[in-house]
């Protein structure tokens, strides 16, 4: 993993608890984006889901071609910042980039849910239901 001031490799590991991160995961571009977001808010960023092995991805209902399975995606929250506000910032800052950007709302808790970002190489936008 690219050296950076904010994130450790273990934060991106698959939640299955059985596999190791493949070499080069997470992608350098993803780390750069997450570091920029962390710096912008000057607040901790928690990675809810980083890399996922194919088995774990299937268990959590991820798309078969999920960017999580190649280490170029993260679902995250920023401590003390409403999920919608983070999503809007990511759209404004990275909306013209060839990234996947999504939001999972938690309508009972504006700080719940998460923002998804991936460096897939083409634009994709969606909302998780």
Fold of 9-13+23-128: Muramoyl-pentapeptide Carboxypeptidase; domain 2 (3.30.1380)
The DSSP annotation for 65-127 comes to: T-GGGGT-EEEEEETTS-HHHHHHHHHHHHTTSS-EEEEE--TT-TT-SEEEEE--SS-EEEE
pLDDT value, residue 64:
94
Query: Which pLDDT belongs to residue 129?
Result: 85
Q: Where in the chain are the domains?
A: 9-13+23-128
Beta-strand pair 100-104/73-78: unpaired
pLDDT at 117: 98
pLDDT of residue 45: 98
**82 in Cβ contact with 92 (< 8 Å):** no
Respond yes or no on whether the N-terminal peptide bond of residue 26 is cis (omega within 30° of 0): yes
Along the 129 residues of the chain, how does pLDDT read in single tens digits? 999 999 999 999 999 999 999 999 999 999 999 999 999 999 999 999 999 999 999 999 999 999 999 999 999 999 999 999 999 999 999 999 999 999 999 999 999 999 999 999 999 999 998
Question: In this structure, how many other beta carbons lie within 10 angstroms of the beta carbon of residue 63?
Answer: 10
The answer to whether the CB of 12 falls within 8 A of the CB of 25 is yes
pLDDT of residue 84: 98
Q: 49: which DSSP letter?
A: E
Measured CA to CA, the distance from residue 120 to residue 98 in angstroms comes to 7
Give yes or no for a contact between 34 and 14, defined as CB atoms under 8 angstroms apart.
no
């Amino acid at each position: 993993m690219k050296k950076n001031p904010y994130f450790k490799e273990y934060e991106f590991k698959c939640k299955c608890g059985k596999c190791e991160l493949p070499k080069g995961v997470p992608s350098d571009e993803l780390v750069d984006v997450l570091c920029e977001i962390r710096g912008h808010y000057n607040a901790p960023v928690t990675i809810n889901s980083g890399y996922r092995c194919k088995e774990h991805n299937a268990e959590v209902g991820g798309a078969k071609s999920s960017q999580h399975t190649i280490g170029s995606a993260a679902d995250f929250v920023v401590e003390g910042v409403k999920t919608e506000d983070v999503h809007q910032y990511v759209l404004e800052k990275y909306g013209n980039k060839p990234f996947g950007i999504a939001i999972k709302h938690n309508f009972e808790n504006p700080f719940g849910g998460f923002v998804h970002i991936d460096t897939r190489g083409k634009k994709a936008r969606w909302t998780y239901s």
